[in-house]
Structure formats: structure tokens, C-alpha cells
Amino acid sequence: MSTHDKGRRAFLINTAAGVGAATTALLPETQAQAQAPAAAAQPQSMSMAMPMPHAPAGLQGAGQRAFFNEENAATVAAFSERIMPGAPGKPGANDVDVVNYIDLALSGPYKDFREFYRTGLNQLEAYCQGAYKKSFTDLTDAQKDEVIGALESGKATGFEWPRAQQFFATLRTHTIEGMFADPVYGGNKDFAGWRLVGFPGAQETFTPADLQSSGPYTRTQIMGMQSTGRRTAP
């Protein structure tokens, strides 16, 4: 793992640990970014699968995604993996199925982001073709990082709406959510994200020693909302 990858992982892990765990609440700034300016010309939408609201995470397999087609899913998966890269013994975005979290969210509570993702992915494809003559998924890790850096700094050209920095910030936010939100929402597979930051989940009780400890929680199994009988459909 490169020093760049280690730094990115450390930043996201510290961000998640600082708040206990990422929530699935829609952040106000990203909610605003999902709305296209009324006067802005929209790029041609890319072909995507018909949405299936409230599609259970267990049904999401090849060709059965709730919103993305497989090409779009592969792009989002590759993008999120560079935001949160895996390492030996440490899960990355693909290990915890971040793309499934985003896919299900776009079929339900984040439906206002559908056009945001459509146009953003179109613009990302055009930028990569112009700069490298390849799609994002076909780039080397170093080239992907160059693209992501250009988005983050606002230097990537051809992004009218969403703007390059908006697109980057939203995918980073949704990647963090998919890494650390309750698995009932389709990400954080096998509680891997929570284990990474020592978050206990929905424990019914804590011992006095647990409450006094400042270290990660490791005493018992991690529990999610599904384990406690509270099911929340995306």
C-alpha cells in the first residue's frame, strides 16, 4: 500500500471514529448538490437500470441492481475503492460493498441524487476519455488518483453540473456512509467497517468497564439494527 493510500485510509478512519460511526442521514450540503440548477443545461443521461424501490440488499447480484447498470456500478466501485482502498487485513470500499449501499440509497431515500449521478458519471467518462483515452475503470491506480485529485481540486474540465468538486465530495461522503453505516442499509458488510474503528453497534447493555474504556469496543459480538429486530428499508 502506498503512502498516499495509507494517508487517505487514516483520514477516513479518523473521521468515522471521531463521530462513533457514519450515519445514513443526508447531509445538507450534499442534499443541495443533488438539485440541478433550473437554468443549467443537463448532459445526456446515461442508460441505467429501472429503479426498484426498497429492493432488499440480499437480492442485489449481477444484473439485479436497484438503480445502476453494471457499467455504472463498476465505475462507482472503482472510484470508492480509491477513496477508501483496502489493504492486507484491512477492508476497503469493495470489501464492504459500498457500491451496493449507494445503489440501494439511490433507489430510495437518495432518489434526488439520481440525475446527479447520471450526469456526473457521464462527465467523468468524458474527462477520462479526453485525458487518457480510457474509461475510469481501465486506468491504473495512479491515473485514477490523478483523476480524483483533479476533481477534488476543481481542475477537471467539462464538469458543468455537478461541478467537479461537488461530484468528488458527494462520492466521498457516500463512500464513508457505505463503509460505516449500519449493514441494514446495504454496506458495511459483516460489520467490517465497524470492526475497523472499534464501534460496537446496537448493544443492549454496556458494562461499567465498557463505559470507562477509551479504546475500541471488542468484548462481544457487534450488533446491527437487523439483529435487534428493527428493520429499515432503504
- Average pLDDT of 63-69? 84
- Closest by CA to 225, choosing from 186, 188, 184, 190, is 184
What does pTM read for this prediction? 0.72
Residue 94 pLDDT class (50, 70, 90 cuts): very high
**Dihedral over Cα of 148, 151, 155, 160: its sign:** positive
| Per-residue pLDDT tens over the stretch 27-43 | 444 555 676 664 343 43
pLDDT of residue 124: 98
C-alpha 85/C-alpha 99 separation (Å) is 14
The DSSP letter of residue 79 is H
- 111 pLDDT above the threshold of 90: yes
pLDDT of residue 75: 98
pLDDT of residue 219: 58
pLDDT of residue 203: 60
- Closest by CA to 167, choosing from 103, 95, 113, is 113
Other CB atoms within 10 Å distance of the CB of residue 167:
24
What single-letter amino acid sits at 7? G
Q: What's the alpha-carbon Rg for the chain, to the nearest Å?
A: 18
| Per-residue pLDDT tens over the stretch 13-27 | 555 555 454 443 344
- Average pLDDT of 218-228? 59
Residue 48 pLDDT class (50, 70, 90 cuts): very low
Sorted by sequence, the CB contacts under 8 Å of residue 113 that are 6+ apart come out as 34, 105, 106, 170
C-alpha 95/C-alpha 19 separation (Å) is 22
C-alpha 155/C-alpha 89 separation (Å) is 35
What single-letter amino acid sits at 46? M
Other CB atoms within 10 Å distance of the CB of residue 150:
17
